[in-house]
A and B are shown apart, each in its own frame.
Chain A
Amino acid sequence: MFNLTTFRELVVAALWTGLLAGLLLTAVQQIQVIPTLLKAEVYEEAAVVPNAENSHEHHDWQPENGWERTFFTAVANISLGVGFALLIGSVMCLRDRPDNWRKGLLWGLAGYLTFFVAPSLGLPPEVPGTEAAKLADRQSWWLITVLDTGFGLSLLAFALTRTNKFFGVVLLAAPHLISAPQPEVHSSVAPAELVQSFIIAAVFANAVFWLAIGGLMGQFYKKDL
């Protein structure tokens, strides 16, 4: 069998990290992310033309605006937080557990670049009601970019030879050279300022989220000295 103590330490650290980072993100989102989303939704609903693809969403259950919606967003944020913390923790476990929370911040920064910055360069954060390419294509590009960036960054940070580090840089650039799937016509029912404001809000909120994940994992999952 495998070492249950190692596994438990990692999972407990990730649970606390995800809980705290998820709650922090939920609070930060209230500043600009959520207000911008809600404003964009007003435009989306005003512009809605019943069509086969979108109509199912409006009949299925969805949380009521207000506390219920905030609660489910918090649950989603915490799940994402725990998921990301488990991933980053498993790489820490394989590579080297951090000495302290400051080392953890570096891991958080790597996570931010991998899971948010790199995919957002091709597929910027979007408010509802934005025209986009086919979902499956965007999901594939997102996944390839994340894998590629993660691998590229680890080569850049840990590879011992220059050739391998250079290969890391090539990997970092590759998905952006292929370029992300784009819709035939870019358009959004929300005005351009809302689209911009949402991007800025998401850049900030995700930076806080990831630094919290990294720092907290650095604290809760640090090396036994």
Chain B
Amino acid sequence: MSSTPVLLDNAQTQARSEVLKDKILPAMLAGMLGLSLLYAAGFAETAQLHNAAHDGRHSASFPCH
């Protein structure tokens, strides 16, 4: 009887780490990649990047200039 909660706990911990590995980590990594791309294309103030992406930034209505 006393072992049931322990077993449940183990199962829960395992399920949680599966969710972490299968969903949370891949999603966070993809999200960070996305943010870096958006930063470079939309916000970085380097003059060359700004000038190359100028029309795209105006079109997307990002604060520009």
Residue B2 interfacial (CB < 8 Å): no
Q: A2-B29, A76-B56, A82-B34 are in contact. Are A126 and B51 (CB under 8 A)?
A: no
Judge whether A127 and B58 touch: CB under 8 Å.
yes
The stretch of A99-107, A134-142, A151-159, A184-192 in contact with B is A134-142
Q: Which of A13-41 contact B (CB under 8 A)?
A: 14, 25, 29, 33-34, 37
Inter-chain contacts of A57 with B (CB < 8 A): 47, 50-51
Judge whether A3 and B25 touch: CB under 8 Å.
yes
Judge whether B51 and A61 touch: CB under 8 Å.
yes
Residue A160 interfacial (CB < 8 Å): no
Shortest Cβ distance from B23 into chain A, in angstroms?
Answer: 6
- Cβ contacts B42-59/A at 8 Å (1 or 0 each): 110001101111111111
Inter-chain contacts of A1 with B (CB < 8 A): 21
Residue B60 interfacial (CB < 8 Å): yes
Judge whether B65 and A128 touch: CB under 8 Å.
yes
Judge whether B29 and A125 touch: CB under 8 Å.
no
Shortest Cβ distance from A81 into chain B, in angstroms?
Answer: 9
Shortest Cβ distance from B45 into chain A, in angstroms?
Answer: 8
13 A-B contacts, Cβ less than 8 Å apart?
A14-B34, A34-B55, A63-B51, A80-B60, A83-B34, A83-B35, A83-B41, A85-B34, A93-B26, A127-B58, A128-B65, A138-B63, A139-B43
List 18 other contacts, CB 8 Å, given A37-B55, A61-B51, A127-B58. A14-B30, A33-B59, A57-B51, A62-B54, A73-B55, A73-B59, A76-B52, A79-B41, A82-B37, A83-B35, A86-B37, A89-B27, A90-B31, A90-B34, A91-B31, A93-B26, A125-B61, A142-B62
